[in-house]
Structure 1
Amino acid sequence: MIKTKTFYIIICSAFLFLVGCTEPYEIETVDYENVLVVESTITNELKPQIVKLSRTSTLENPQILLENYATVTVRGDNGENFSFSQDSETGFYVSNQAFSAQPNVSYSLNIKTQDGKTYSSSPVILPPAVEIDEVYGERIVNNEDNKDGVQVLVNTEDPTGNAKYFRYEYEETYKIVAPYPSPYIAEIINFDDEWYTYEVILSPREPEIICYTTENSTGINQTATTEFNENRVFRFPVKYLSKFDAKMQTRYSILVKQYVQSLEAYTFYKIVKELGNVESLLSQGQPGYVAGNMVSDTNSDEKVLGFFEASSMTSKRIYFNYDDFGLEKPPYFVDCDYLILDYRDNSTLDNDPNDREIIFTYLSYFDYQVVDFQPPFVYIIAKAECTVCTSFSSNVRPNFWED
């Protein structure tokens, strides 16, 4: 039997939580359990909502074990029911129609797995929405933390005092300009392995110079205003970029998303983060069991990990360049030295590499691209990442992008 450690958590009462939990976690070694994992946040955005279902894996073999073929429904006490279907690409369950969580409506999540077991959440209500006051970048130099770069910060205030718990995510998009754009598609023909001769056919193409990459945040990043005199989030760090980060080499944008949470949701994710700071509940070799708001309808003793949350989301986007902060241009994503090679050099007797062999090997097996050609025999080549930005990014300009 595979063994793993399970942490049994005694969650402090709401009052004790507000002043800080001081009781240590009780740790006990028990048998590994195959537990359903539920991760879902429905928001006030009109969009297809998502429910993620998986099973825990062992600490020894952490992997994503998707829960397939489940029946998933979100029900509102106003009579609305929303069905979900599993997406073939991601494995997530996506609502069949776009919807937004409404104020003063109580929502519950209901799940029926392929083995006939049913699970449900406690009812949740959408918290009030709070607009982000400001998202901004600031140059920081912190020798203690070995940081020198740009810190993205958030300011938010709720004068009503109704919103006290906040979670942050972001989408970062950055522009990429290939340093050595390749105007050719190279093809090697008529290779003779006895004499090591061949021809390189160069077909013209439009150089793929500019690309854009978008990446989503991972991990749990949240804060609370309960310990402050004002109901205000001030200079909360969302994203740090080192001065050497290639994402800032041309132009960088970040969309910060602010989620207002309930106390219960905030508490759950706070404990999960303290247990292991996992990037996602979906992908964990579960370090411990944390009781959320999901239960089994058919077996009261069965553990269910996860939380169904309704959260109000607002967002704000900013753009900046490295020189906005007095920084030097960061290095490119990879080293981009190019090679000048002469097809006529087919020997190493001159204490020089065999250029003809390098041309063949690098074009055939290492995806190098021809940057320039000097007839009749000289080729200038470089890595694909340095010549064709679509080798690791997309040349589709996002609709929101501003230069």
Structure 2
Amino acid sequence: MRFHIISLKTAFYWLCLLFLAACEEPYNPEVIESSNKFLVVSGFINSNGPTTILLSRTQNLSESSAPQKETNATVTVEEENGEKFPLMEIAAGTYSSNALALNPAKKYRLFIKASGKEYASEYVTVQQTPAIDAVTWEAASDGLQIKVSTHDDRNSTRYYRWEYEESWEYLSFYHSVIEYVNGQIMDRTPDKMINLCYRFNNSTSIQIGNTLKLSQDVVSNFPLVKVPANSDKLDRKYSILVKQYAQTKESYEYWEALRKNTESLGSLFDPLPTQLTGNIRCLTSPEEPVIGYVSVSSVTEKRIFVTDTELPPSYRAPSPACSFDTVFLGEEAAYFGGGSNIPIDRIITNDRVLIGYGGASKPCVDCRTLGTTAKPAYWE
């Protein structure tokens, strides 16, 4: 009889395969279909600018539609034993205030009246966010690494959170100098050019850091985001606005738990999901869960630009599959009339005789299919 010796790692691998093979029947826990429409509060109280709060409702895991927005609510920032600052609904489920200048010596909370119930966060002290020292970048082999550095001379911040807003300039594959209007081919005027556009993107991942293990409250070159080397964001000019928020220990722990629940699950060795404990309560029904954590802090910002000439030649996005079509005179209406194809330029013989037009599909010519031609006010 022959014996085969295998490692513990190999044995564990085969055990997992046998276990997965045995799981043939789907398991649908009751919680997936349970009726829950708990309030979700997203946002923070900005002590040195406008405050924006998003209200929505939780949904079952089996639902594929977007979360329900909480509309027609009353939302107020309240100073402890002091003033109240109302927020107005500027879009469905989005509530915003005028620029606030809150007293750092006071405590504040968020009060909400929605669907016949009242909700309130705990009164929280105002956190003063230190300035961002620098936002830098490094052209690594696989992409553009954006880093942020900051410090607090008072050694009193220790907990940080960052968000960012990206914007970039790009060109359409073809440059159209003519347009088809009311059955006629006309020259494009400068205000109707559609080859240069801008796109925007906000951060969705949770970026937090702390300096608890350091003798000084210094964050040096925290890796914020990496833009892939083949991203079209880097084709011409890229900009990122970094926003920094000071956090309390409690708010930091909430964001850390949220990060683990949403970004660190999926393998055998990832941490188990935990119940999020925020600082918002339902005053009308104390047993009802409320999702969210309201903090109060100032915000500091810094923007940088990176142009394609500063990056390695290998940083290039794949070219789109764009074919150039020839349209003979008399075929304009059939090809351009539906709007799915756009004229690019006239086709003229060496004898200066017009014989037709060049054209291509709209995504290859009109950059507005993905962005806007309106240049941002901050663009360099």
Fold in common (TM above 0.5): yes
Q: How many residues align?
A: 337
Q: Determine if contact 1:43/1:126 at 8 Å carries over to the other structure.
A: no
Percentage of pairs with the same residue: 29
TM-score after normalising by structure 1: 0.76
The amino acid that maps onto 1:203 is M
How far off its partner does 1:80 sit?
1.8
Q: Is the alpha carbon distance of 1:155 and 1:327 closer, same or farther for their aligned partners in structure 2, counting shifts above 3 Å?
A: farther
Secondary structure at the aligned position of 2:363 is classed as helix
| Equivalent of residue 52 in structure 2, options 41, 50, 53 | 50
Pairing 1:63-142 to 2, within 5 Å after superposition: 63-77=66-80, 79-88=82-91, 90-95=92-97, 97-114=98-115, 116-141=116-141
Q: 1:251 aligns with which of 218, 237, 241?
A: 237
Aligned partner of 1:371 in structure 2 is: 344
* Paired residues for 1:374-385 under 5 Å: 374=347, 376-385=354-363
Q: Is the 8 A contact 2:33 2:61 kept in 1?
A: no
Gap regions ≥5 residues in structure 2:
1-26, 265-272, 349-353
Task: Work out whether residues 181 and 386 of structure 1, in 8 Å CA contact, stay in contact via their aligned partners in 2.
Answer: no
What is the SS of the residue equivalent to 1:64? coil
Deviation at 1:46, TM superposition (A): 2.4
Structure 1 SS opposite 2:260: helix
Structure 2 CA distance, aligned partners of 1:5 and 1:171? 39
3-state DSSP class of the match of 1:379? Answer: strand
Q: Distance between the aligned counterparts of 1:108 and 1:4, measured in 2?
A: 36
Match of 1:390 among 368, 376, 379: 368
Q: Report what 2:22 is aligned to.
A: none
Partner of 1:205: 188
Query: Hey, what does 1:34 align to over in structure 2?
Result: 37
Q: 1-side partners of 2:209 and 2:248: how far apart? A: 12
RMSD (CA atoms): 2.7
Query: Any unmatched runs of 5+ in structure 1?
Result: 7-28, 142-147, 190-200, 279-286, 345-355
Change over 3 Å in CA distance of 1:64–1:377 after alignment to 2: farther
Cα pair 1:248 1:321 within 8 Å, conserved: yes
Q: Distance in 2 between matches of 1:327 and 1:71?
A: 54
**In 1, Cα distance between equivalents of 2:35 and 2:334:** 49
1:308 aligns to what SS in structure 2? coil
1:118-146 CA deviation, whole Å, 9 max, x = no partner?
111101111122111111110123xxxxx
3-state SS of 1:390 partner: helix
Structure 2 CA distance for partners of 1:100 and 1:340, relative to 1, 3 Å: farther
Q: After superposition, what is the alpha-carbon deviation per residue over 1:340-379, rounded to whole angstroms, capped at 9, x for unaligned?
A: 34468xxxxxxxxxxx6xx766534462211112254432
1:174 corresponds to: 168
Post-superposition offset of 1:30: 8.9
Q: How does 1:294-373 map to 2 (within 5 A)?
A: 294-328=280-314, 330-331=316-317, 334-342=320-328, 363-365=336-338, 367-373=340-346
Of residues 256, 275, 284 in structure 1, which corresponds to 2:261? 275
Q: Secondary structure at the match of 2:291?
A: strand
In 2, Cα distance between equivalents of 1:167 and 1:260: 6
* 8 Å CA contact 1:3, 1:32 repeated in 2: no
2:225 matches 1:239:
yes
Mean alpha-carbon deviation: is it higher for 383-392 or for 52-61? 383-392
Instruction: Output aligned runs, 1:138-153, within 5 Å.
Output: 138-141=138-141, 148-153=142-147
Range 156-165 or range 376-385, more displaced: 376-385
Q: Is the 8 A contact 2:42 2:293 kept in 1?
A: yes
Contact 1:163 1:260 in 2 (8 A): yes
State the Cα distance separating 1:398 from its structure 2 match.
Answer: 1.6
1:60 aligns with 2:81: no
**TM-score, with structure 2 as normaliser:** 0.80
Structure-2 change in CA distance of 1:362 and 1:295 (3 Å): farther
Alignment match, 1:266: 252
Amino acid at match of 1:395: T
Amino acid at match of 2:200: T
Residues 361, 268 of structure 1: alpha-carbon distance in 2 compared, 3 angstrom cutoff: farther
CA distance in 2, matches of 1:73, 1:213: 33
CA distance in 2 between partners of 1:333 and 1:103 (Å): 52
Give the aligned partner of residue 150 of structure 2.
156
| Whole-angstrom distance in 1 between the partners of 2:374 and 2:119 | 42
Other structure's SS at 1:65 match: coil
Q: Distance in 2 between matches of 1:245 and 1:232?
A: 32
Structure 2: how far apart are the matches of 1:327 and 1:166? Answer: 35
SS at match of 1:382: strand
